[in-house]
Amino acid sequence: MESLLIKGGVPLCGDVTISGAKNAVLPIMAAALLTREPCVIRRVPALSDVKFMGEILTWLGAQVRFEGDSVCIRANKIKGTGDYDLIRKMRGSICIMGPMLGRLKKAAVSLPGGCVIGARPINLHLKGFEALGARVTIANGYARASAKRLIGAEIFLGGRAGSTVLGTANVMMAATLAEGVTVIDSAACEPEVVDLANFLNAMGAKITGAGSPTLTITGVKQLHGTEYEVIPDRIEAATYAIAAAATHGEVTLRGARYDHLHAVFDKLNGAGVRIDRKGSAITVRRNGRLKPVDITTLPYAGFPTDIQAQMMALMTLTPGISIITERIFESRFMHVSELARLGADIEIEGPSAIVKGGKPLSGAPVMASDLRASAALVIAGLAARGTTQVNRVYHLDRGYEQMDAKLRKLGARIQRIEEQ
């Protein structure tokens, strides 16, 4: 098992190119199951999750070929059951269910795994499939849906923590081949959902309202192949922006979408971080002393839950008290105990973390519990005095393309080693 060894205290300086969005490319790859014709997807990041999705699609019968940062998928003939051993590794794999149901009118998918950040039930996915006319059951670790025909319907997908991103994606994909019109109310508005809708429209689907809480899908008889380039990863861009601020550096993000990062940049500005935009380049630098901020995670366009841990790492370096409230996942503070090993002073009170910042961090061995916690520990290690070893780096490889190599280009003293 691999670890990252970080010798902190070096400001990050230079340019970093932002990869394609992991949370966009996974459902887009799954959507290729909706047609027999080949689909070419570009700006595909080299991530373990993307590799797993390729293996899942291959197991289902699709031909999957990776070439550089592109993948070509041809699903001429597919089966309707997803393999447990593959799907259990990655929660995002549940998004194969909608395309299989849409095309085959049946789907059986093993209940998925993924990061341990709290309960993420798929009841809203299944509710949407039932509204389209499918019979849904859960038994023996599998969710199954089948229908003689799918009929458009009005579907409300709001949940306890707001809209569901993967649920919206799954129901939208199934509805593209349903008869009639489907209206999804309380649809997720995330850029990754918009990107999926744009991909489906490029395949011949008829979807309007993407990016708003109301999606309208007019079913078509069949979809065709297409070529498409996914959006840049806003979570990766935000992570490098926070790392620049934490190390008192200056980093230019190449290829990031400023309009996808308003909430993050607003909080960074409030924390004393300067954000300059010139064309497609965004430069991030510390603008004097850091200032504490209060943050509440919310569905898009609010502050992303996927940036909560990284922002907490920055606030541990900030003099004063910051309050970070997690409203999306109830168990997403598992990084707190590991940040404490580096010297952070953080108390948990219900859904909030009270960060008493400003004390210097010092290097120590730490254990990553999930993908975004891994990024937070790397940021803290970059800013800490001495050496930090981040163990279980496989979490990081799920969502950040060659993070250690990109950080080295920015001047970080970081290397990948085998855990002792």
The answer to whether 418 and 1 have CB atoms below 8 angstroms apart is yes
Q: What angle do CA 60, 64, 65 make, to 5 degrees?
A: 165
d(CA 237, CA 233): 6
Peptide bond into 301 cis (omega under 30): yes
Type of residue numbered 285: R
Q: Can 115 be counted among the known catalytic residues?
A: yes
Q: Which residue is catalytic, options 39, 95, 115, 189?
A: 115
d(CA 361, CA 89): 33
3-class SS letters over 329-389: CCCCCCCHHHHHHCCCCEEEECCEEEEEECCCCECCEEECCCHHHHHHHHHHHHHCECEEE
Estimate to the nearest angstrom the gap between the alpha carbon of 99 and the chain centroid: 20
Neighbouring-strand partners of residue 324: 295, 353
Which positions ≥6 away from 121 have C-beta within 8 Å?
none
308-316 and 371-383 helices cross at what angle (nearest 10)? Answer: 20
- Which residues in 355-372 are b (16+ Cβ under 10 Å) and which e? bbbbeebebbbbbbbbbb
The answer to whether 357 and 321 have CB atoms below 8 angstroms apart is yes
Task: List the catalytic residues.
Answer: 115
